[in-house]
Amino acid sequence: MKIVVGQGSCGIAAGAGKIYDLIENANPSCELTITGCIGMCFVEPIVDIYDDEGKLKRLVRVKDSDAEKIVEAVEKKDLSIVDYLEISDEDNSFLTQQTRVALRHCGIINPEKIEDYIADDGYQAIEKVLKTMTPEDVIEEIKISGLAGRGGAGFPTWFKWNAAKQSTGDKKYLICNADEGDPGAFMDRAVIEGDPHNLIEGMLIGAYAIGASEAVVYVRAEYPLAILRLENAIKEAKEKGYLGNNILGSSFSCEMRIKAGAGAFVCGEETALIESLEGQRGMPRLKPPFPAQSGYWHKPSNINNVETFANVPWILLNGGNAFSAMGTEDSKGTKVFALTGKIKRGGLVEIPMGKTLRDVIFNIGGGIRDNAEFKAVQMGGPSGGCIPMSLIDTVIDYKKLGATGAIMGSGGMVVMDSSTCMVGMAKFFLDFTAKESCGKCIHCRLGTKRMLEVLERIVSGKGESGDIELLEELCVSIKDGALCGLGQTAPNPVLTTIKYFRDEYEAHINDKKCPAKECIDMVSYSISDNCKGCTLCARNCPVNAISGKVKEKHIIDTDVCIKCGKCYESCKFGAVVVE
Amino acid sequence: MLHLVIDGINIEAKEGSTILEAATANGIEIPTLCYDKRVELYGACGLCVVEAEGIPKLLRACATKATDGMVINTKTPRVVRSRKVALELLLTDHDGDCKAPCSLACPAGTDCQGYVGMIANGEYKEAIKLIKDKIPMPASIGRVCPHPCEKACRRQNVEEPISIAWLKSFAADMDLKSDDVFKPEVAEATGKKVAVIGGGPGGLTTAYYLRIMGHDVTVYDAMPNMGGMLRYGIPQYRLPKEVVEREVQEIASIGVKLQNNVRIGKDITLEELRNNNAAVVVAIGAWKSSSMRAKGEELDGVLGGIDFLRNSVMNLPLNMGKKVAVVGGGNTAMDACRTAVRQGAEEVYVIYRRTRSEMPADDVEIEEAIEEGVEFKFLTNPDEIIGENGKVKAVRLQKMELGEPDASGRRSPVAIEGAFEEIELDTVIMAIGQYANLDGFEDLELTRKRTIAADESTFRTSLEGVFAVGDATNKGADIAISAIGEGKRAADVIDSYLNGEIVGYKKPYVVERVVSPEEYEAKEKAYRPHMPHLSPEERKHNFEEIVKGYSAEDAKKEASRCLECGCHDFYECKLIKLANEYDVNPARFGDNKHQRRSEQTHPYIERNPDKCILCGLCVRVCEEVMGITALGLIGRGFDTIVQPEFDKPLQSTECISCGQCVTLCPTGALREIQPVTKPVPAKEKETVTTCSFCSAGCQMKLKSVGNTILRAVPEGECSLLCADGRFGFGERQSVERKLGAKVNGETVSFDEAAKAINEAFSKYDASDIGVAISESLTNEEAEAAKKYAEEVLKTSNIFTYSTRKQGPRAAMGLGFSPKKHNEKFGEVALSSNANAKGLEKLGIEKSTDVFKAMFLVGEELPEGAKAEFTVKIGLFNDDADIFVPQSTFAETNGTVISADGKTLAIRKAVAPACETDTLTFIEKLMK
């Protein structure tokens, strides 16, 4: 028997840390261990119990008080004691509908034990590579696989590797971009926290292919657990001879280290990342020259995203053809998505390319929370765009998603229901990019700021006719003129919301109404005759704006009301009216 | 070699060059604000974008390598749009004053700050040059202009505005009095004839500037003399006819033909003029007085204000009697009532239907009228002029009160029912408005106001080839300077018309700042110098000019009060140039601008982040070229700012005051603190010369206006100057400099000094005479001094002390980038004096010997040493028996030899501040 407590950041946030302690303190006679993010964030904390036959019983939404029962069940070898915690078939279908390549060990192995990784095919790919393949063979295999950069741009990985390999230089660098900054994205974090050796192995293969002797993982400092586990993994790998000089007895040597980023979104842009690595202000460099020619310390460098590397060992073990067998004509393999927002089942989803958005959102994700109406999904974070219900059957594939105005992106999928104001959503993302602009180029620094001001004007009820056209003009100019990807893609949320929800913009501007009733400057709260005088709203009001006697109709003082919505949420009679 | 096509032109480019380099090498201009070849590529501004055939993205020309066969277009609509938006976005956060508010307020766009600054620096010639670029009659205008410039002057936030108008007439009077009166350069004759109808300010201005452009211009005027309203509408005591006449002469002197006593429709027709000229300008002014629409206006004794003034000027009989009332509240009313006083009226009234505070007349005019005994009947309006035997006997006044503000914002007068007053009168003068007499111009289309309809931008009328300006057009009568402004702009338009393609006038785009009075709270108060003028008693019975004008000293003092609102880098600013080229309209993107300007104390460099466009050139040149990091980029996004680390004062950083950041700054965000009385934005003369602060031989460009050096900037391949070279020229024009020759403490002429020197030395034995020649002299000066010593003084005691202890920072390796220093000079030892090598070559050796009689050429005696008799040619220290001022390297032509043995040119940028330059003086000694 074995107890495994999910200890990804998501699980810990839900209380799994304490549960682990409680179980440990109960001193169970079986093995107690941890694992990384299982991907089912919506049912955390999760405790997996494997019986002696190795059969898994997954317990979900575990509370502190359940720890005792879990230990009891294990000690009595009667798992029916915790039947009440077992995951439902429906919830479990979240996982069973997935195909896991990059996440294949996540939620299964103990990320802090290299032995677990090794026991599950770990480091077999690098062994195969070093013993049987030339760097050219590796690049060829990656080419066959059709693997493309998972950070967002979707550039063929083999091409970058090949360019870096072809570049002459006494020293080359391999860099992993783990500066996952999109709001709502956590794929990379899950990989590092749940399967750090997979990343190390993928990077080793990449370093071998391009001829790099030094590898750096650029992780955002906001991922302390990921950094901790990766540090531990690097240490373990060194001890086992997977890192360092003459790896596995070959002539290939490679050192690896971590660089914690200081939290600038733009440092996810590869040239800004290099500047930051060099200790400079994180500002993008002009391309060309591309990093493959002149990158870190002006040496040939190759930069890939975490998820990209995470696919590499699998490809080398199973063959490029096995990978390219999944997916569509244009996009091969699988893709991990971080499903969040107003979704019933949020978490990490890895599916083969070619599935539809409906598959992910409605079949795997279970549709919209509280059975509300689906409105749109934001793909690719602040660089991406929204996709409305009418395009829910769009196939997940770089080209098809691009055609909608959104992008594949790194995998953030933020689901919105009818209570989300699309203008407000566009404003949210633009506020993000405007703040995260490095300030270097005019279009991004000032263009996003001026766009943000127009959007702020619109959501506060001061929109003017011509504002939509002004936004569109700025969007086109910024896309054309901005220096780096951050700026060039910053208008996407605005462009797509205008494209699919122009009527909402017009309602804000012409009628001074927010159809989603989210823009507080355009809504007012009042209490209708449905009021029973239960006083609940008055007691919940944080600013004492509601008055009224028991069993009499209550009144909201609109001068005092801060439109927080507490009354609306608390009223059991639907008496609070938002207009 | 690469072969590519840019804008349809086949060009060749060096392998490896970027599109920008290829274009520039072939004379094709691609704009950029962040590129400089000395620093690494940056790509921030995005202005250099171009389109290449077959490539969907816009390419940054600075960063994209040209490839063989590339077809590039630098001016496609997409490129232009992208650049325009970039510029507009930049301007949404660029705060400052491109031009000073005074200049912007002037209807003629006169560069007020420019000429005021020139006057402060004593550059009167430059001042008049600037003024006459916009106003051909500044002596007249300076006297009469209601000066909208002064109303806009920000100095009034401190105490009172600069007296810009008086400074104008001061500069103009100085010029007219001089024996070298300013004459504009007249272009070669074009053979195109233009007729200007009307010799008032508008007509004369149009004629003057058209003439400068080489056209054959004749002014036709109905009156016996030119000047229009300046001559016939403004009384002598404000503007003497002689001044007008003198300025008319100046206009005639450049070849403008003047024909008086010609009335259109009577002596010649408009049609005839059209037939005989390539263009006709109608500038006939507004010479008819508007009616009051009161009963009794037809009576004998009722006349118009301008008619009255004209009759007075022309010495025609006035028959006005003893009691005179003037109706109206403008300057014409004031001119009329004060003229009536001077013409002997005993009781003079001004009838005005509002109160004093609503009067459009200048305050000083009202005050002076009151001082002269004029009685103001405010809140009254003529109801009826009562006559007797067809002649005015009295006027009945309706009493008024102020009601609601009207469209003009003034409270409109409302009649108080039944309240009347009657005054006995002999004459009623109506001065409530003027309109044009359009007899003879019936063919021209009119506006609804019955003025000539002229296009606002091209001044075209309904008749081909006929243009119109001034009071007779569009909105009607206005002040003289408005007509002058239109005249100048019309001249440019007509010139383009005569050249085949008419280009209308477009108001240039400028950035303007909104100021708050608090900004000026700390400013020390300094009121205008007193303007000498006649007392009421002295003036009320004659027509003598009241205002006497400033003395040169007062004018300089007054001009020095200027707050220098307009950007000092206006003429260098790349941003404003491009903004106008791309016809920007940034307002549509909002104008939420940063206000982050702060007090600064760096001795040479002023930073103004409000003007910064974050091109990063300063940061990059500081780090990459100079190896220093005094400035850096702080903050993110919209709030990014260039600052020293921890926002320390710049001088507390590693800054070495090389000024590279200032040189590269494309806007006015970084500027030199200029060592002159009044730094002034101007089109500067540039003189390439050699820096004389050490023997490095750095090439520099001296930028000057008149005889004032405004800046020194690096020049040539190396493009480096240290703080001394960059900012040290101030000592050349320091007030400490001694400019008079002295013999035993008495000031003498250079000739007298030369004579005294030769006489004095002749008393000494040649062996007792020592000649010390400074290493800071040019080869020519040193050689001449040596020759004088050998041939005239017959001495062989010729040497140099090289006493200059404080070596320049370059030579000492301080204050100069050590990195660049070594790159440039390697192991060459620098001397702290500019021409040590030159003196070496002349065989002048170092010594510390002191002789009985010493001739110190640019030298000082060694410390503690004494000589019986000393003659000194020097800059600051005139402690010698005979002292002659020395000229500086900016004031002379010659050569020096640099430490690495190159002979380099010293070129004269300004005239010597003293009588002659040193070389000429030594030559004088030889005679």
ipTM: 0.91
**Yes or no, beta carbons of A288 and B63 under 8 Å apart:** yes
Calculate mean pLDDT across residues A403-421: 93
Cβ of A470 within 8 Å of Cβ of B588? The answer is: yes
Cβ(B626)–Cβ(B660) below 8 Å: yes
- Residues in B whose CB is inside 8 Å of some CB of A read 41-46, 49, 57-58, 60, 62-65, 78, 81-82, 85-86, 89-90, 92-93, 588-590, 592, 613-614, 616, 632-633, 635-640
pLDDT at A463 over 80: yes
Q: Quick one: closest CA in B to A457, which residue?
A: B590
**% of chain A with per-residue pLDDT over 90:** 93
- In what helix (H) or strand (E) does residue B820 lie, and over which residues does it extend? helix B818-825
Residue with the two structure tokens 């240290």: B722
- Asked whether B72 and B4 are in contact (CB, 8 A), the reply is yes
For residue A162, give how far its alpha carbon lies from the nearest alpha carbon of chain B (Å). 22
What pLDDT was estimated at residue B812? 37
* A69 neighbors A81 (Cβ within 8 angstroms): yes
Q: Which residues of B touch A454 (CB under 8 A)?
A: 590
The answer to whether the Cβ–Cβ distance between A439 and B635 falls below 8 Å is: yes
For the stretch B746-760, pLDDT in tens is: 999 999 999 999 999
Q: Which residue has the higher pLDDT, B562 or B720?
A: B562
Q: What is the pTM of this model?
A: 0.91
Query: Reduced to 3 states, what is the DSSP secondary structure of residue B217?
Result: strand
**Binary contact (A453, B592; C-beta < 8 A):** yes
Q: Quote the pLDDT of residue A376.
A: 97
Three-state secondary structure readout of B148-174: HHHHHCHHHHCCCCCCHHHHHHHHHHH
User: What is the DSSP track for B733-752?
Assistant: G-TTS--SEEETTEEE-HHH
Question: How far apart, in whole angstroms, are the C-alpha atoms of residue B297 and residue B386?
Answer: 9
Selected residue of A267, A271, A283, A450 to mutate for chain B interface (largest B Cβ count, 10 A): A450
Contact list in A for residue B578 (CB cut-off 8 A) is: none
Q: How far from the centroid of its chain's Cα atoms is residue B619's Cα?
A: 32
Closest Cα of chain A to B12: distance in Å?
Answer: 22
Buried b (16+ CB within 10 A) or exposed e, B865-893: eebebbbbbbbeebebbbbbbbbbbbbbe
Q: Is A479 on the interface with B (CB under 8 A)?
A: no
Contact (CB, 8 A) for A334 and A354? no
H or E stretch at A206: helix A196-210
**Nearest CA to CA, how far is B589 from chain A (Å)?**
6
What letter does residue A446 receive in the DSSP assignment?
A: I
Q: Are the beta carbons of A193 and A227 closer than 8 angstroms?
A: no
Rounded distance between C-alpha atoms, residue B70 and residue B866, angstroms: 76
**Beta-carbon separation of A477 and B614 below 8 A:** no
Neighbours of A530 (CB within 10 A): 13
Report d(CA B218, CA B216) in Å as an integer: 7
Q: Which among B45, B44, B55, B49 has a CA at the least distance from the CA of B18?
A: B49
Instruction: Provide the pLDDT for residue B601.
Output: 85
pLDDT given for residue B598 in this prediction: 82
Q: Which amino acid is at A516?
A: A
Q: How sure is the predictor about A333, in pLDDT bands with cuts at 50, 70 and 90?
A: very high
Element containing residue A95 per DSSP (H, E):
helix A89-96
Would you say residue B823 has pLDDT above 70? Answer: no
Assign B115 a pLDDT band (cuts: 50, 70, 90): very high
The answer to whether the Cβ–Cβ distance between A474 and B63 falls below 8 Å is no
CB contact A445 to B (< 8 Å): yes
Q: DSSP secondary-structure letter at B791?
A: I
Interface check A473 vs B, CB under 8 A: yes
Q: What is the least distance, in Å, from the CA of B93 to any CA of chain A? A: 8
Q: Percentage of chain B with pLDDT > 90?
A: 83
Closest approach of A439 to chain B, Cα-based (Å): 4
- Backbone φ, ψ for residue B432 (5° rounding): -115, 5
Q: What does chain B come to in residues? A: 927
Residue A324's φ and ψ, nearest 5 degrees, are: -75, -15
- Whether A450 sits inside 8 A of B89 (CB atoms) is yes
Q: Measured between alpha carbons, how far is B529 from B605 in angstroms, rounded to an integer? A: 32
SS3 state of residue A195: coil
pLDDT tier, B809 (very low <50, low <70, confident <90, very high otherwise)? very low
Q: Which of B55, B80, B89, B667 to mutate to test the interface with A (most CBs of A within 10 A)?
A: B89
Cβ <8 Å between A437 and B589? no
d(CA B520, CA B515) in angstroms, rounded, equals 9
A447 has a chain B CB within 8 A of its CB: yes
Round to the nearest angstrom and report the end-to-end CA distance of chain B: 62
Is residue B807 predicted with pLDDT exceeding 60?
no
Asked if the Cβ–Cβ distance from A439 to B589 is below 8 Å, we say: no
Check the CA dihedral A570-A573-A574-A576 and report its sign: negative
Stretch 245-274 of chain A: residues touching chain B, C-beta under 8 Å = 264
Contact B63 A286 (CB under 8 A): yes
CA distance B100 to chain A (A): 26
Contacts of B80 in chain A (CB under 8 A): none
Return the number of other C-beta atoms located less than 10 Å from residue B517's C-beta.
10
pLDDT band per the 50, 70, 90 thresholds, residue B669: very high
Do B747 and B741 contact (CB within 8 A), yes or no?
yes
| Mean pLDDT of the B817-822 span | 44
Contacts of A473 in chain B (CB under 8 A): 85
Q: Does A474 touch chain B (CB under 8 A)?
A: yes
Nearest CB neighbour to B46, from listed A434, A435, A441: A441
Distance CA B264, CA B197 (A): 8
CA distance A83 to A92: 14
Distance from chain centroid for Cα B863: 47
The per-residue pLDDT for B811 is 40
- Distance, CA of B226 to CA of B232 (rounded, Å): 9
Share of chain A above pLDDT 70, in %: 100
Q: In chain B, which residues have their Cβ closer than 8 Å to the Cβ of A446?
A: 89-90, 92-93, 589, 638
User: Residue B829 pLDDT > 80, yes or no?
Assistant: no
Task: Give the A window 480-509 contacts with B, CB below 8 Å.
Answer: 480-483
Residue among B92, B592, B636 minimizing CB distance to A439: B636
Q: Please answer yes or no on whether A445 and B638 come within 8 Å at the CB atom.
A: yes
- Note the pLDDT tens digit of each residue in A527-547: 999 999 999 999 999 999 999
Q: For residue A95, what pLDDT is reported?
A: 95
Query: Which stretches does DSSP call E strand in A188-344?
Result: 214-220, 255-261, 301-305, 334-341
Residues in chain A closer than 8 A to B589 (CB atoms): 446, 450, 470, 474
Query: Could A443 and B89 be called an inter-chain contact, meaning their C-beta atoms sit closer than 8 Å?
Result: yes
Note whether A453 contacts B: Cβ–Cβ < 8 A: yes
Confidence check: pLDDT of A437 > 50: yes
Residues 6+ apart with CB under 8 A from A440: A283, A284, A483, B42, B44, B614, B616, B640
Per-residue pLDDT, B642: 96
Contacts of A264 in chain B (CB under 8 A): 636
For B705-760, the pLDDT digits (tens) are: 999 999 999 888 767 788 888 888 877 777 788 999 999 999 999 999 999 999 99
| Tokens 């505005």, located at residue | B161
Nearest-by-CA chain B residue for A443 = B86
pLDDT at B535: 93
Beta strand segments in B251-406, E:
257-259, 279-282, 288-289, 302-304, 323-327, 347-352, 375-378, 380-388, 391-405
